[in-house]
Structure 1
Amino acid sequence: MTHAGVLSPTTRDHAIAAMTGAAGEAELDVLVVGGGVTGAGVALDAVTRGLATGLLEQRDLASGTSSRSSKLIHGGLRYLEMMDFALVREALQERGLLLTRLAPHLVRPVPFLYPLTHPVWERGYVGSGLLLYDAMASFGPLSGLGGSGLPRHRHLTRRRVARIAPDFRTDTITGAIHYHDAQVDDARLVLTIARTAASHGAQVATRVRVTGFLREGERVVGVRARDLEHGQDLEIRARVVVNAAGVWTDEIQEMVGGRGALHVQASKGIHLVVPRDRIRSESGFIVRTEKSVLFVIPWGRHWIIGTTDTPWSYDLAHPAASRTDIEYVLDHVNAILREPLDHEDVEGVYAGLRPLLSGESEPTSKISREHTVVTPVPGLVMIAGGKLTTYRVMARDAVDAAGHSLRTTTNLQLRRSITEKVRLLGADGFETRANQRVLLARRSGLHVARIDHLLGRYGGLVDELLDLVHARRTLALPLEGADDYLAAEVVYAVTHEGARHLDDVLARRTRISIETFDRGVSAAPGVARLMAAELGWSADRVTEEVDHYRRRVEAERRSQLMLTDQEADEARVSVTDLV
């Protein structure tokens, strides 16, 4: 067992050996396919119920949908309007758990203004909805923990809105309602869930692609897979395989002839990142559009603005944002701003795919985000749909279904899920270290603002970063071209967080790829050299990684000049992943 949930090159090799039986381990009880938030959640739920658990991801943890969301942990106001009260209540309870118990170091409150344009009926309508929103969050399992952990909503006049958000156009509104939700760095949440699962004994291996299923009669008894790092074919046996592949669900389903059990429709959502000084406001905004909602979300020294909601039928690994998408978002945000934004204000652009359960001919913005669990053939559980906020509930339901399959073959009595009590790595000790921030700054020689930054990313594990800085003082230096991050964070990403390629660090362990105007190109050489020292890369390998990253950025920029999805996809897929 890995004591601190370390994901390193060595632990990856050990995990593969354990899952294939080369290390003398017994057959797995549960093998999870997919390293997004749902798959990581399933691995954590299964291993904490006492099941021998493994997880395979074909690329990097959170490399798909789970690193490209709006980064909100929320109930979903639009689902309240759709009368989906059960979904909203469930999501609000999960939001409260994450804020107050499971991941207080990663999940934090974020304020929003909901502008009102009609003087009487709209204030009553929206106000009553937010009253219900607050009430749903305050009652239930968290009532003994002080409720939702967030302030209640309040009504604002137009003058008050102007003081909070000087750059918001108030000439077309009558006031606003101020309320709170929560946000998270989605990729870090996934990584932390996976590391927590590993700390409890789960075997986690990235860069392993499932190529088929092992069968005994009708029953699935494991998978065939390819270790992309070492070029080896593997067989991994498991009593139950859980497919949590998100938008790849249909492809996995076809491997077992189970087509039709689930159909997942990919819906593309794009987001823009702009510097914080481009919009003067103490609060984010949420505004209804003709198709969906527009979020303007505070994100450190930046704003995240989105999103779109359109069907996507092209490359699933690298969805592309077109110029049409970008202008749609700019047009809608400029309608509410005094000083309009243009393309030159955009630091970063990212596109993600929502895995929506389909079967109807309705627009993707109307499809519910509720999840579904099915068992198309014995020994295989499939889960699809859902949202970032409710990952833990999805995982619980998937493991419950796996437990039914285990009972029929092994007579194993599955214990109930306990993940509502299992704090994620970094949660323990976070409050204490936050109180000690000045002392930590004094001892480490770092500015208090740097300590705050580390606490918000690593929580109680901040000591591990500070130990690196103490041992190697050069790691206390900020990265050239991305000075929000320290060199120590790159080294830690490799030694503890499973980073294998330059993309992994620039796009997911940090968010340099969307938080800098050059998309991380100037930071890439220095980051690659730091990684090389830990991974044993040659000079040629460093050059290859940097060149690939630059070509990836160029392809993304080209795609963002195209008017159609097809043209954008053709530009983006011209650069494939490194193996």
Structure 2
Amino acid sequence: MTAGLPGALTPARRARALGEVPGASVDVVVVGGGVTGTGVALDAASRGLSVVLLERADLAAGTSRWSSKLVHGGLRYLAHGEIGLARESARERAVLMGSTAPHLVRPLPFLVPDAAGRDVTALAEAGGRAADLIRFSVPGGRGSLPSTRRVDADEVSRLVPGVRPGRGGVLFWDGQLVDDARLVVALARTAAAYGATVLTGATVTSVDGADVHVRVDDETFVLRAGVVVNAAGVWAQRLAPRIRLVPSRGSHLVVPGSALGSPSAALTVPLPGSRSRYVFALPQADGLVYLGLTDEPVEGPVPDDDPVPEDAEVAQLLATVNQVLTVPLTGDDVVGSYAGLRPLVLPESAGTGPGDATADLSRKHLLQWDGPVLSVVGGKLTTYRAMAEETVDAVVARLGRGARRSPTGRLPLLGAAPRRVLDRVAAPRRLVARYGTEAPTVEALGPAAVVAGRPESVGELRFAVRYEGARTVADLLDRRTRIGLVPADRERAVPVAEQVLAEEG
């Protein structure tokens, strides 16, 4: 049953790739295994091009695992007058929810309480209704989410019990990913099912004409590419120094849902002094809440190590959400935190410095050639597919081969199926939400909990090693599952992860 899993990133497949890739000539080499790179690899492979994706660490090892896990329609873009970007976001959200990954995305209500101020909720209601109109205008958008509406005090208390009682609010809806890293893994495996070679632990050291120089462990080799797609995110300047990036750090705190009364809606509170930036308290399926999001400029070279939230960001997030809570959150409620770097593109029209705050920089992406290297940077997780399609359009035009039209708008990722089919999958709902139709295979590998009191199973770790390219403890605990978001839980899970790696290796 499991031997024929499509797109399986098995240890044997990786070993085979290490024997075949050195000296090979391919149409496209993709550098970077985040959502952009895996999206490009899938688009290119599905058009019949030969593809090798090279990632220096692991799938979703960089920015793509540090997002807010939202597939959003661009409400904030409307506040900046970027109607086109908002419409593209709404269209791509509908594609993800309706065709490509309905198992990974669910509708999530967002509550803006009157406790934040009636002027705030009036603005939120106007923005929500404008976003609804844009959603109605895109294919598949009309029925994908409920419409914006006002709610009374009783419903506010039911949705987010931690909010100060006695007042109503506004409710709008958006999409929530069960896990951003799971989307990246699904993209990579689907690309592999279409013939792409996916090789992690492979660092591209340089590109010299058509020659791509790669280091794996202590070995180096060269392969030839018709086009190199630089999808390295905040590290893109290492291959394309002329690109002007202004990295921005977005930080989140992890708190127990019980600290907010176990909310079923995302609490939405405006940042003091801003009409377009909010702090969200985002409920997760595992009972935790992610509190974010900051937007802080990052100076100097981008390090390889994961960024961490600064004390001022922690204080800002807590102070903002505490404006509307009956019992304020404190540092003692924070059980974990994470931060990611956004690869924001500085427009060519700008001067030598970033000028305005990074929060006001456009989230539009950049597509730029430099010899045989095509860099694609910027953009948002929600619009990864549209970015990939535009990128591969340019690749096909340069190479003169490959299908002219992308099929990915209607191409289900591995595990995806219509909702009526997912509802009949014979496996726990939590596994179906993460693995879709492959959930029974995951469950059969072992239902025992990795850590007492948490939902992740040993079967998920085994599945990650056998079929998803996981090679290290960090791959298992920080990306294939997200146990690592709570350091105390991660510490308890390490021996189990080490045992699974030893048994499956």
1:274 to 247, 252, 255: 255
Q: Measured at CA, do residues 517 and 39 of structure 1 come closer, stay the same or move farther in structure 2, by a change above 3 Å?
A: closer
2:416 paired with 1:427: yes
Q: Measured at CA, do residues 345 and 121 of structure 1 come closer, stay the same or move farther in structure 2, by a change above 3 Å?
A: closer
Distance 2:204 2:356 in 1: 32
Deviations 1:262-319 (A, max 9, x none): 2111100110111111112331122221363201111121111011110123524321
Distance 2:98 2:418 in 1: 14
Q: Measured at CA, do residues 273 and 234 of structure 1 come closer, stay the same or move farther in structure 2, by a change above 3 Å?
A: same
Deviation at 1:62, TM superposition (A): 0.5
Max radius of gyration: which structure? 1
Deviation at 1:125, TM superposition (A): 4.0
1:134 to 132, 146, 149: 132
Deviation at 1:158, TM superposition (A): 4.1
TM-score by length of 2: 0.92
Equivalent runs, 1:420-569 vs 2, <5 Å: 420-428=409-417, 431-437=420-426, 440=427, 451-468=428-445, 475-481=446-452, 483-514=454-485, 516=486, 518-535=488-505
Distance 1:413 1:203 in 2: 17
Q: Which amino acid aligns with 2:344?
A: L
Q: Which amino acid aligns with 1:363?
A: A
2:29 paired with 1:37: no
Distance 2:375 2:341 in 1: 18
Distance 1:118 1:194 in 2: 42
Match in the other structure for 1:74: 72
Distance 1:497 1:160 in 2: 42
Match in the other structure for 1:153: 148
2:226 to 227, 239, 263: 239
Q: Measured at CA, do residues 3 and 48 of structure 1 come closer, stay the same or move farther in structure 2, by a change above 3 Å?
A: farther
After superposition, the CA RMSD in angstroms is: 2.0
Deviation at 1:482, TM superposition (A): 5.8
1:202 to 191, 196, 202: 196
Q: Measured at CA, do residues 340 and 20 of structure 1 come closer, stay the same or move farther in structure 2, by a change above 3 Å?
A: same
Deviations 1:507-561 (A, max 9, x none): 11111011x46141011111111111112xxxxxxxxxxxxxxxxxxxxxxxxxx
Distance 2:114 2:329 in 1: 22
Match in the other structure for 1:328: 316
Deviations 1:39-70 (A, max 9, x none): 00000000001101110000110011000011
Q: Measured at CA, do residues 4 and 482 of structure 1 come closer, stay the same or move farther in structure 2, by a change above 3 Å?
A: farther
Given that 2:115 and 2:164 are in contact with CA atoms closer than 8 Å, whether structure 1 keeps it comes out as no
Deviation at 1:170, TM superposition (A): 5.0
Distance 1:282 1:532 in 2: 39
Given that 2:451 and 2:489 are in contact with CA atoms closer than 8 Å, whether structure 1 keeps it comes out as no
Q: Which amino acid aligns with 1:277?
A: S
Q: Which amino acid aligns with 1:432?
A: V
Gaps spanning 5+ residues in structure 2: where? none
Distance 1:311 1:519 in 2: 31
State the secondary structure of the residue aligned to 2:408: coil
Distance 2:226 2:85 in 1: 31
Distance 1:159 1:271 in 2: 29
Match in the other structure for 2:109: 111
Distance 2:164 2:475 in 1: 39
Q: Which amino acid aligns with 1:479?
A: V
1:319 to 301, 307, 312: 307
Match in the other structure for 1:350: 338
1:363 to 350, 357, 362: 357
Deviation at 1:484, TM superposition (A): 1.0
2:85 to 76, 84, 87: 87
Name the count of aligned residue pairs: 488
Q: Measured at CA, do residues 413 and 204 of structure 1 come closer, stay the same or move farther in structure 2, by a change above 3 Å?
A: closer
Deviation at 1:124, TM superposition (A): 5.1
Given that 1:37 and 1:190 are in contact with CA atoms closer than 8 Å, whether structure 2 keeps it comes out as yes
Deviation at 1:238, TM superposition (A): 0.8
Q: Measured at CA, do residues 62 and 482 of structure 1 come closer, stay the same or move farther in structure 2, by a change above 3 Å?
A: farther
Distance 1:126 1:336 in 2: 16
Distance 1:222 1:181 in 2: 44
Q: Which amino acid aligns with 1:19?
A: V
Deviates more, 1:120-129 or 1:194-203: 120-129
Match in the other structure for 1:554: none
State the secondary structure of the residue aligned to 1:340: coil
Q: Measured at CA, do residues 67 and 138 of structure 1 come closer, stay the same or move farther in structure 2, by a change above 3 Å?
A: same
Q: Which amino acid aligns with 2:461?
A: V
Deviation at 1:430, TM superposition (A): 6.5
Given that 2:87 and 2:138 are in contact with CA atoms closer than 8 Å, whether structure 1 keeps it comes out as no
Match in the other structure for 1:543: none
Distance 2:56 2:140 in 1: 37
Given that 2:147 and 2:172 are in contact with CA atoms closer than 8 Å, whether structure 1 keeps it comes out as yes
2:318 paired with 1:341: no
Deviations 1:437-492 (A, max 9, x none): 4xx5xxxxxxxxxx111111110011322443xxxxxx221113563111111111
Match in the other structure for 1:307: 293
Distance 2:436 2:152 in 1: 38
State the secondary structure of the residue aligned to 1:521: helix
Q: Which amino acid aligns with 1:383?
A: V
Q: Which has the higher contact order (CA 8 A, sep 6+)?
A: 2
Match in the other structure for 1:251: 238
Given that 1:243 and 1:380 are in contact with CA atoms closer than 8 Å, whether structure 2 keeps it comes out as yes
Deviates more, 1:368-377 or 1:159-168: 159-168
Distance 1:312 1:84 in 2: 24
Q: Which amino acid aligns with 1:349?
A: S
Given that 2:103 and 2:417 are in contact with CA atoms closer than 8 Å, whether structure 1 keeps it comes out as no
Given that 1:481 and 1:520 are in contact with CA atoms closer than 8 Å, whether structure 2 keeps it comes out as no
Deviations 1:321-355 (A, max 9, x none): 22222122111121221111112211210011011
